[in-house]
């Protein structure tokens, strides 16, 4: 409003207590002191006009009356409430005007200012004195500005390392707990049995692998070395004249077999003993009864030979690839005997010794002659059946005349 306001006057002539800001009459000196302390420093409100007192006369009209204590023009100004000479208003009078609080009594102390009801931030622990830079350095030492919260989260995510028997990690175990953990660590019978079986299987597998390696690789290496030494020894003896054709003892070498199509050069020894002849990479001659066959220099007969197809030098491994007309040469001290392949018997039982007859059965020969028979095991890596290859002599050439054409080509 823009209307003028008269100067403040107390309705009761200065006898009523003035109101404080935001409150009624104080209940005691302490309440007035708290309010005065709470609103200390605030600007005082300007005085307002006194409200008219409404009185009602019996039987008369009701209307506004002049408030008591209004001074007339020219009357002296009453003393200011709270000032020198002012009268203290009574505590039970009411007024709509604002009141100016009086001075606090002697010896009264203002209570501490209380915080508002707004929730405050939690107190910061571990604050380092020295300002913001010191607090930052302290936070870095703790692992960052939020190091405490990070460490708490990591501790919550870290798995529990303590055993059920030792709930507190790092605490020494008692005897009962130590025995219990020792029993838990001790393997049971089932675990021990499974370990033994597993180790047995592993050992068996390793031994089988070593055996296969020995059979397929090492026996060939050793047999090739032995057969090569025997071949060189025969050639040296023939050059020096130490050996002559005749009767040979079992295991004694007397000739060299050449199969040009298979690139085979192997010594021929008397007999078909596995340990003394065949396992050494040599070709054995059926020279003992009851499977005795003719020698290459005989006028008629069947020159029977045997050798390994697999392992121990395997000189007859690929004789199944020989075709009719392929040459087979037997070299002795003074003669080259040249044979031509005529036929092959892929499979026959080991008991079929008729393939070594002077006129081999199933070979296609019908009359006596000078034949050669090669025998080996089949299928590969087994000895269940025998593979037979037959040939017929086509040339006898003295060594003095040089090598035959089959060896030159």
Pairing type for strands 283-285 and 264-270 reads parallel
Distance (Å, whole) CA 287 – CA 303: 9
> Could you please report the per-residue DSSP string of 329-378?
EEE-SSEEEEEEEEEEEEEE-TT-GGGGSSS-TTSS--S--EEEEEEEEE
All residues at 6 or more sequence positions from 19 whose CB lies less than 8 Å from its CB, including other chains: 25, 95, 97, 98, 99
From the number of C-beta atoms within 10 Å of its C-beta (0-12, 13-18, 19+), residue 90 rates as: exposed
Q: Of 15, 17, 32, 35, nearest to 95 (Cα)?
A: 17
- Catalytic annotation, pick one of 258, 285, 312, 377: 377
- What would the two tokens of residue 212 be? 């296969």
Stretch (H or E) spanning 201 = helix 189-213
308 is known as an active-site residue = yes
- What would the two tokens of residue 256 be? 């060299």
> Could you please report the per-residue DSSP string of 124-177?
PTTPPSS-HHHHHHHHHHTTSTTHHHHHHHHHHHSPP-S-TT--STTPPP-HHH
From the number of C-beta atoms within 10 Å of its C-beta (0-12, 13-18, 19+), residue 302 rates as: buried
> Could you please report the per-residue DSSP string of 262-331?
GTEEEEEEEB--TTTTGGGTPEEE--STTS----TTSSSEEEEEE--SSSTT-TTTTGGG--TT-EEEEE
312 is known as an active-site residue = no
- For residue 372, what are the CA distances in angstroms to 293, 350, 369, 391? 10, 18, 10, 5
Distance (Å, whole) CA 353 – CA 355: 5
- Catalytic annotation, pick one of 258, 285, 308, 312: 308
Point out the residues that are catalytic. Answer: 308, 377
């Amino acid at each position: 409003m823009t209307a003028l306001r008269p100067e403040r006057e107390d309705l009761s002539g200065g006898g009523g207590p003035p109101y404080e800001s935001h409150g009624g009459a104080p209940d005691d000196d302490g309440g007035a002191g708290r309010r005065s302390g709470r609103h200390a420093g605030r600007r005082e409100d300007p005085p307002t006009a006194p409200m008219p007192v409404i009185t009602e006369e019996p039987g008369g009209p009701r209307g506004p009356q002049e408030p008591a204590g209004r001074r007339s023009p020219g009357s002296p100004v009453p003393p200011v409430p709270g000032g020198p000479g002012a009268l203290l208003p009574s505590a039970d009078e009411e007024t709509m005007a604002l009141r100016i609080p009086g001075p606090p009594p002697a010896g009264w102390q203002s209570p501490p200012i209380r915080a508002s009801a707004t929730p405050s931030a939690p107190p910061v622990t571990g604050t380092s004195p020295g300002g913001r830079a010191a607090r930052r350095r302290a936070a870095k030492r703790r692992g960052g500005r939020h190091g405490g919260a990070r460490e708490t989260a990591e501790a919550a995510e870290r798995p529990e390392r303590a055993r059920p028997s030792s709930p507190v990690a790092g605490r020494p175990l008692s005897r009962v707990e130590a025995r219990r953990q020792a029993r838990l660590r001790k393997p049971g019978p089932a675990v021990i049995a499974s370990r033994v079986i597993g180790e047995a299987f592993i050992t068996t597998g390793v031994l089988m692998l070593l055996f296969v390696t020995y059979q397929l690789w090492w026996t060939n290496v050793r047999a090739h070395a032995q057969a090569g030494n025997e071949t060189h020894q025969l050639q040296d003896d023939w050059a020096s004249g130490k050996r002559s054709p005749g009767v040979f003892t079992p295991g004694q070498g007397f000739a060299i077999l050449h199969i040009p199509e298979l690139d085979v050069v192997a010594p021929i020894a008397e007999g078909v003993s596995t340990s003394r002849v065949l396992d050494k990479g040599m070709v054995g001659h059926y020279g003992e009864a009851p499977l005795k066959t003719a020698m290459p220099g005989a006028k008629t007969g069947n020159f029977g030979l045997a050798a390994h197809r697999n392992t121990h030098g395997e000189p007859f491994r690929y004789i199944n690839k020989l075709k009719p007309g392929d040459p087979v040469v037997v070299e002795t001290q003074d003669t080259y005997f040249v044979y031509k392949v005529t036929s092959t018997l892929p499979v026959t039982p080991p008991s079929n010794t008729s393939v070594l007859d002077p006129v081999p059965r199933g070979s296609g020969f019908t009359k006596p002659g000078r034949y050669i028979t090669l025998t080996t095991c089949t299928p590969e890596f087994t000895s269940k059946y025998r593979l037979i290859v037959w040939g017929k002599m086509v040339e006898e050439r003295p060594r003095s005349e040089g090598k035959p054409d089959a060896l030159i080509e």
